[in-house]
Amino acid sequence: MRFAVLGAGRIGQVHSDALAGVAGAELVAIADPMAEAAQAVRARHGCDIRTIDQISGSDDVDAVLICTPTDTHADLIEQFARAGKAIFCEKPIDLEIDRVRACLDVVRETGAFLMIGFQRRFEPDFNVLRGAIDAGKIGKVEMVTLTSRDPSPPPVSYIVRSGGIFRDMVIHDFDVARWILGEEVETVQAAGSVLVDAAIGEAGDFDSASVLMTSASGKHCAISCSRRATYGYDQRIEVHGSKGSVSALNHAEARVQFAGPDGYTVPPNQHFFITRYMNAYRAEIEAFVKAVTEGAPPPVGGEDGLQALALALAAMKSVEESRAVKVSEILG
Amino acid sequence: MRFAVLGAGRIGQVHSDALAGVAGAELVAIADPMAEAAQAVRARHGCDIRTIDQISGSDDVDAVLICTPTDTHADLIEQFARAGKAIFCEKPIDLEIDRVRACLDVVRETGAFLMIGFQRRFEPDFNVLRGAIDAGKIGKVEMVTLTSRDPSPPPVSYIVRSGGIFRDMVIHDFDVARWILGEEVETVQAAGSVLVDAAIGEAGDFDSASVLMTSASGKHCAISCSRRATYGYDQRIEVHGSKGSVSALNHAEARVQFAGPDGYTVPPNQHFFITRYMNAYRAEIEAFVKAVTEGAPPPVGGEDGLQALALALAAMKSVEESRAVKVSEILG
Amino acid sequence: MRFAVLGAGRIGQVHSDALAGVAGAELVAIADPMAEAAQAVRARHGCDIRTIDQISGSDDVDAVLICTPTDTHADLIEQFARAGKAIFCEKPIDLEIDRVRACLDVVRETGAFLMIGFQRRFEPDFNVLRGAIDAGKIGKVEMVTLTSRDPSPPPVSYIVRSGGIFRDMVIHDFDVARWILGEEVETVQAAGSVLVDAAIGEAGDFDSASVLMTSASGKHCAISCSRRATYGYDQRIEVHGSKGSVSALNHAEARVQFAGPDGYTVPPNQHFFITRYMNAYRAEIEAFVKAVTEGAPPPVGGEDGLQALALALAAMKSVEESRAVKVSEILG
Amino acid sequence: MRFAVLGAGRIGQVHSDALAGVAGAELVAIADPMAEAAQAVRARHGCDIRTIDQISGSDDVDAVLICTPTDTHADLIEQFARAGKAIFCEKPIDLEIDRVRACLDVVRETGAFLMIGFQRRFEPDFNVLRGAIDAGKIGKVEMVTLTSRDPSPPPVSYIVRSGGIFRDMVIHDFDVARWILGEEVETVQAAGSVLVDAAIGEAGDFDSASVLMTSASGKHCAISCSRRATYGYDQRIEVHGSKGSVSALNHAEARVQFAGPDGYTVPPNQHFFITRYMNAYRAEIEAFVKAVTEGAPPPVGGEDGLQALALALAAMKSVEESRAVKVSEILG
């Protein structure tokens, strides 16, 4: 499968590198208005530099990875759906539910293959956890607890364009929650605070967020999210079930232990989400190639992008109106 | 200090045993309408059996431990406050806020010493955690996560008189939350479900509860509570702060580890809350004796009982009305 | 059972305290040439102060706990065996094999009940480990690894009278090895070094010792022992078997965990062996009372004391002669 | 740097794959008498298939990786030293000390670059451990404990040609011991047993081995080695020092934890040494390329191969003669 990557920023580079390790995948072209960024990818992987419109019209491109800024996602999905390319798009499709729906209409009409980049679904440990649940190891899922803390906040310049902590950061946890709960969320309660950096508050966002969700059958899911953790990237899943529980633990920088007068110490967690999820990014692209090749539906589709966004919007509304918000209020 | 214990049930026995190990404390009398229960305590500790009214009028009793059913607590506190005894009362003072207030008025008027039995505040590990916070080890407290799961639910006959999961079980976590947050909770959101045993639902209660609270300064506290955990008594505190985090971990039945084809296994947690908290019960009585002896205020007072109850009532109202409830709505 | 404790030093106090918690045991008398030490025990437990000869002739004493200096043990065992008292003696019986044998002859002739104080056999975790082995959980025992490190060395004044690290400290591990291996050791190889404190070397002893033992059927047991560990009392057992392994882990001062820029830290181990083994000391006395009461053989007998000493002597000979020493060379 | 790989067996494939990920390294040719094996490498990496003599005379080959059977190593090292190629050779150089010495003479005379494949020195966690020691974090190294257990024994057909457990398996631990101790071993004591598989004993080898070594300054190193561990590949290093200790822990198959009635379980260790050491194999080749390129001495040289072999031979002699063997007896 011949690929073009749209956007040569950080995540575009991650996917370009991941492609290099995927059997049956070939990087044909990179597009980026920043010439330097595109040249760096070309230097590393020996691909062409083309414009987005050139790629859209290229016969030697089967699939695109959309790694451009969020506000271009929906337009590009529509353009490449019409161009008949298989599409992988980084989350989110758009920050607004109506735009997402319009975009998904085009995908449906054109019969395009669209996969959304929620890479955590491909993380090996998380899949061991999910596999154990599917195998009945913990019985019926009852209470899910997600902990999600970045080592340090992004620059405020990023924050202002991000759509806010619920749509930018917690969105991943909303998707994991849906994946683990095994049924849709019905009600969302949330709280947001500025505890880490006052500048984030001045930019109109929160840096600390908590969510409490219930599903139709009464399962609970709690999310605890912060833009700062001094001990590295903190990403945990705990699932409490009728027969037991299963947890996905953090990844330390090294598997060593020190002992001394202060006690026993193991190193902090890996600090960078790209290091932490490198295996997941590779597995994600492999899953994309496999699904397209086999004519299977995308393992994470446009509807998943829509639902996760709806949870984020419900959380935002809950904070604003100090009440439990039904997801149906968002989705109509 | 010469003690009488009111109530020779399970918790009355725990406190009678704890008294035996406290320097300066002597068990003089036990009261219980069930002759057999009272006789068992006498046999074990060589104390008198007396009626409550006899104890109230006994010159050789300095202090009482109230371990009777919840609906007698407020009356007994008033009776013994008027009798001039130092009072230790198991939580809760009462299930209704007005009755608690009236009772505390009597305590205030009589100048009685009243301590409420939130034993977790005296658990050694929790005090190491709290000490680390006070010492500034994790910086400013931001997000507290409490996990609270009993090995298995009590009988439905207990459930129906318990006041419900929020006032009976989560009440301990509400107190711990206040103790750790270092400021009062302002807003409470909550969810309750019947996931463990349908009979609990038929009795009008939940068996699974989640709470999300925020303080005036925007700190978050999440509580996850279930009446059943197959892996033993699960009682954890995690405090995330600006400089790091501190957690209190569970206590395994034994500090051994098995390795085999299925991996590495350590034993489940201690199954019984009395085993888990035996050190705390002893330390609690020691703190009572110390405070009375030194004329210090009670380390956990009537106001603490009132505030924890207010959080429970706010959580119940939140579930009922599907909205964030301000604690001030409860306390007026 | 009415007890006298001989010796009111540290270990005599430990046993006096332990006795107080054992049902059916009563402390009648304490003996110690240091009046102050004896008075402290009397003040704490309300017993008589008597001389050893008075105790030997006391009708109201059923059993003695010998907690005097090592060089008095054998004489006292003989005296009290002849006096018809049940005897518990702290390890070792004597530092020399011939004296031990002569003493055990007297015990045999008088039919006295003699139990030796290897308290680790009564430590709860170690018994879970041993129970798992007996239950076949790890299959056939193959390789045992014992780690034994004190927080800090005793004073040199103690070292010079101790009999040396192998007879004073490793002796406990030799006993544990025999208890876990399930068969006698055949061959001992050892190494001793002065790495911690040159003064210990000048006193003619080692402060760091390693032992490698093999049993008749070829099982291995390795012991690593040091007089100093900055992270608290380090006492581990690891047993590797045909179906898996089982380990007894250390006991932390508290079950809390800190996270920060340097990683995740749990507190050091309990620093004092008496804290670490308090449960074991109590269980040991309970086992003594139970065995005497039931007319059962002592759970740890004189022969166990003899065999552990033989292993220590074999290790010393191995270091001296730079060769593998058969235990039969020591025992003849 | 243009490489040829000699031997297309398992370890030859590992190194061929590792080469593909090393910047500045190119695989030019593979040699193997088994046509199929060589073709598989060619298919995977697009290199030539040549005979060893062809490679020896090839101008387009700068370096060779010797991955052939042990009994060819010394001859091949000599051949390629004379041909002026940089040489990486899998351990051991030879099973006999005299042959190793003769081979190293040729290396010295020709001035060839020779690196020996002790990959553990390049394992990331072990390097964190070693770095902490070098940084003085644990003070002076005193007692090293190495645990080394394979998931299951190799076929007896392999055992008979392996040189025995000390030269085949423990050799890696001997090298790690030298690397960690920071000084040469002076004395070796050892024990060997057949506990896992009687067929291994019938083939003249042991399947369980223990070693106790001392250095000139009195440091101890204990090694515990078994051909079988039901819980996966067990490879641990524990270094006890004057200020504390540092340990390298095992690598679990996944970082998840299950909780249920039997307790808390984490998955077994990775089962395959090639999985466990994949990062080490890559880092090893990178170190080779870097040293050759920079004209630096090999990070692991012929002398290291000689010394590790001497320790293995000393251990074998110790078992045979039931005594402590000085390394100088082996090396003369």
Q: Do C263 and A230 touch (CB under 8 A)?
A: no
Question: Would you report the helix, strand and coil content of chain C in percent, each value rounded to 5?
Answer: 40, 25, 30
Threshold 0.90, pTM exceeds: yes
For C140, nearest residue in chain D (alpha carbons): D195
In angstroms, the Cα distances linking D123 to A248, D130, D314 are: 25, 10, 27
The average pLDDT across A121-136 equals 98
Closest CA to D254 of D269, D236, D275, D232: D269
**Contact state of D189 with C189 under an 8 Å Cβ cutoff:** yes
CB atoms inside a 10 Å sphere around CB A163: 22
Contacting partners of chain C (3+ CB pairs under 8 A): A, B, D
Structure tokens at A323: 């009440």
- The span from the CA of D139 to the CA of C274, in Å, is 28
Q: Tell me which of A181, A187, A195 to substitute to probe the interface with B (most B C-beta atoms closer than 10 Å).
A: A195
Question: Torsion over CA of A61, A63, A69 and A71, rounded to 10 degrees?
Answer: 110
Q: Do C266 and A268 touch (CB under 8 A)?
A: no
Phi and psi at residue C215, to the nearest 5°: -95, 175
Cβ-Cβ contacts under 8 Å, A135 against chain D: none
Which residue in the set D252, D260, D267 is minimally distant from B231, CB to CB? D260
Q: How many residues does chain B have?
A: 332
Check residue D332 and give its pLDDT. Answer: 87
pLDDT at D272 over 90: no
Give percent above pLDDT 70 in chain C.
Answer: 100
Q: What is the mean pLDDT of residues D100-129?
A: 97
Please tell me the total number of residues recorded for chain A in this structure. Answer: 332
The tens digit of pLDDT for each residue in D5-62 reads: 999 999 999 999 999 878 889 999 999 999 999 999 999 999 999 999 999 999 999 9
Q: What is the pLDDT of residue A273?
A: 84
CB D5 within 8 A of CB D38: no
Q: Which residues on chain B are in Cβ contact (under 8 Å) with C248?
A: 255-256
Which residues in chain A are closer than 8 Å to D245, comparing Cβ atoms? 258-260
Give the angle B23-B24-B25 at the CA atoms, nearest 5°.
95
* Chain C nearest-CA residue for D268: C244
In whole numbers, what is the pLDDT of chain B averaged over residues? 96
Nearby residues of C203 by Cβ (< 8 Å), 6 or more positions away = C156, C159, C160
pLDDT (0 to 100) of residue B20: 84
Indicate whether B318 pLDDT > 90. Answer: yes
Which residues are bridge partners to A181 per DSSP? Answer: none
Q: Do B256 and C248 touch (CB under 8 A)?
A: yes
Question: Half-sphere exposure of B89 toward its Cβ, with a 13 Å CA cutoff?
Answer: 33
User: Which residues in chain C have Cβ-Cβ distances shorter than 8 Å to B132?
Assistant: 256, 258
DSSP string, B122-146: G-HHHHHHHHHHHTTTT-SEEEEEE
Interface C–D counts its CB contacts (< 8 A) at 113
Query: Which residues of C touch chain D, with CB atoms under 8 Å apart?
Result: 140, 142-143, 145, 147, 149, 187, 189-191, 193-196, 208, 210-212, 214, 218-220, 222, 224, 226, 228-231, 240, 242-245, 322-324
CB nearest C244 (choices: B250, B260, B267):
B260
Q: What is the mean pLDDT of residues C250-255?
A: 96
Alpha carbon separation from D288 to B7, B69, C118, D269 (Å, rounded):
78, 77, 54, 29
**What average pLDDT does range D107-129 have in this prediction?**
97
Residue B23, pLDDT score: 84
Query: pLDDT over 90 for what percent of chain D?
Result: 95
Provide the mean pLDDT of chain C.
96
Other Cβ atoms less than 10 A from the Cβ of D253: the count is: 17
Of C35, A258, A179, A329, which Cα lies nearest the Cα of D249?
A258
Percent of residues, chain A, with pLDDT higher than 90:
95
Which tokens is C194 given? 């002065």
Quick check: D245 and A259 CB within 8 A? yes
* Closest by CA position to A63, among listed A12, A109, A36, A29: A29
Minimum Cα–Cα distance from C216: chain D residue: D193
Q: What is the pLDDT of residue A171?
A: 97
Q: Locate C220 and state its tokens.
A: 């291995």
What is the distance between the alpha carbons of residues D120 and D180, in angstroms, rounded to a whole number? 11
**Could you identify the residue written with the tokens 């054109």?**
A110
CB D78 within 8 A of CB D66: no
The answer to whether D269 and D233 are in contact (CB under 8 A) is yes
CA distance B95 to chain A (A): 26
Residue contact B263–D266, C-beta within 8 A:
yes
Q: What is the pLDDT of residue C216?
A: 94
Q: Distance (Å) from the C-alpha of residue A250 to the closest C-alpha of chain B? A: 14
Q: Are C239 and C275 in contact (CB under 8 A)?
A: no
Q: Cβ contact (<8 Å) for B268 and D261?
A: yes
pLDDT at A272 over 90: no
Q: How confident is the model at residue C332 (pLDDT cuts 50, 70, 90)?
A: confident
D164 pLDDT more than 90: yes
Q: What distance lies between CA C247 and its chain's CA centroid?
A: 20
Nearest to A268 among C262, C267, C268 (CB): C262
Cα–Cα distance, D215 to D181 (Å, whole number) = 8
C231 CA to chain A: closest CA distance, Å?
Answer: 4
Cα–Cα distances (Å) from B266 to A123, A267, C45, D250, in that order, read 26, 22, 39, 16
Q: Which residue has the tokens 């105790």?
A: C55
Touching D (3+ Cβ pairs <8 A), the chains are: A, B, C
Residues of B with CB under 8 A from a CB of A: 140, 142-143, 145, 147, 149, 187, 189-191, 193-196, 208, 210-212, 214, 218-220, 222, 224, 226, 228-231, 240, 242-245, 322-324
**What percent of chain D has a predicted confidence (pLDDT) above 70?**
100
Tens-digit pLDDT profile for residues A224-257? 999 999 999 999 999 999 999 999 999 999 999 9
In this predicted model, what pLDDT tens digit does every residue of A14-65 receive, in sequence order? 999 999 878 889 999 999 999 999 999 999 999 999 999 999 999 999 999 9
Average pLDDT, chain D: 96
Q: What does the pLDDT read at residue D203?
A: 96
What is the distance between the alpha carbons of residues B268 and A244, in angstroms, rounded to a whole number?
11
C253-293, pLDDT tens digit by residue? 999 999 999 999 999 999 888 888 999 999 999 999 999 99
Helix (H) or strand (E) holding D150: none
- What distance in Å separates the CA atoms of residue C164 and residue C309, rounded to the nearest whole number? 12
Q: Dump the DSSP string for A224-260.
A: EEES--TTS-EEEEEEEESS-EEEEPP-BSSSEEEEE
* pLDDT given at position A70: 93
Distance of CA B216 to the CA centre of its chain: 24
Range D204-216 average pLDDT? 98
Of A267, A272, A299, A277, nearest to A286 (Cα)?
A: A299
Contact (CB, 8 A) for A75 and A102: no
Which positions in chain C touch B258 (Cβ < 8 Å)?
132, 137-138, 244-246
**pLDDT for res D317:** 98
Q: Could you say which of A259, A261, A265 has the minimum Cβ distance to residue C262? A: A265
Q: How far is C146 from chain D (nearest CA, A)?
A: 11
In this complex, the residue of B145, B214, B324 whose CB is nearest that of residue A224 is B145
> Averaged over C170-177, what is the pLDDT?
98
| Residues in a beta bridge with D116 | D89
Cβ within 8 Å, pair C263-A267: yes
pLDDT of residue B313: 98
Closest residue of chain D to B260, computed from CA coordinates? D231
C34-43 CB contacts, 8 Å cutoff, 24+ apart: C34/C8, C37/C8, C37/C9, C37/C12, C38/C8, C40/C8, C40/C13, C41/C5, C41/C8, C41/C12, C41/C13, C41/C16
Radius of gyration of chain B (CA): 20
Residue D47 has what pLDDT?
A: 95
Could you tell me which chain A residue has the CA closest to the CA of B326? A322
- Is the per-residue pLDDT at A265 higher than 90? yes
Given A247, A257, A261, which is nearest D256 (Cβ)? A247
Closest in A212, A231, A245 to B244, CB measured: A231
The phi-psi region of residue B263 (left if phi > 0; otherwise alpha if psi is between -120 and 50; otherwise beta) is: left
Among B185, B205, B210, pick the best mutation site for testing chain A contact (most A Cβ within 10 A): B210
For residues B263 and D265, the answer to whether their CB atoms sit within 8 Å is yes
**Which chains form contacts with chain A, at 3 or more CB pairs under 8 Å?**
B, C, D
Q: What are phi and psi of B144, to 5 degrees?
A: -110, 135
Query: What is the rounded CA–CA span in Å between residue B94 and residue B312?
Result: 12
- pLDDT value, residue B251: 96
Helix axes C97-110, C302-321, angle to 10 degrees: 170
H-state helical runs in chain D: 10-20, 35-45, 52-56, 73-82, 97-110, 124-134, 156-161, 165-168, 170-181, 198-202, 273-276, 278-294, 302-321, 327-331
Note the pLDDT of residue A255: 97
**What is the average pLDDT value for chain A, to the nearest integer?**
96
Select from B229, B230, B262 the Cβ nearest to the Cβ of D265: B262
Q: Which residues of chain A neighbour C253 with C-beta distances below 8 Å?
A: 263
